[in-house]
Amino acid sequence: MSAVQIRCPVGPKRLLAILRQNGEQPRYLDDNTVEFACSDCARDLRKQGYDISRVLHRFNFLGVLVETVELEKSEAGR
């Protein structure tokens, strides 16, 4: 069984998840992403003075970073 480690793309490289595969390449769909909140990145941005509630890293199922989204505290309640 092979595995793909999903890590924060910045900072100390926190392990967010491990996707396990049964020996086959996963089927890949363009819009099929997985999202993880990164407390390390949110904390670092708050220390720099940004009004950030959450930082979300979005990956495809191959473990490739698709995008990072920073949510301000005013956006988090929506």
pLDDT tens digits, one per residue of 10-61: 876 788 888 776 665 555 556 778 888 888 899 999 999 999 999 988 888 7
User: What are the residues facing 60 on neighbouring strands?
Assistant: 33
Q: What is the pLDDT of residues 44-53, one digit of tens each?
A: 999 999 999 9
pTM of the model: 0.70
DSSP letter string, 27-61: P--TT-EEEEE-HHHHHHHHHTT--EEEEEEEEET
DSSP count for the chain of H helices, then E strands: 2, 5
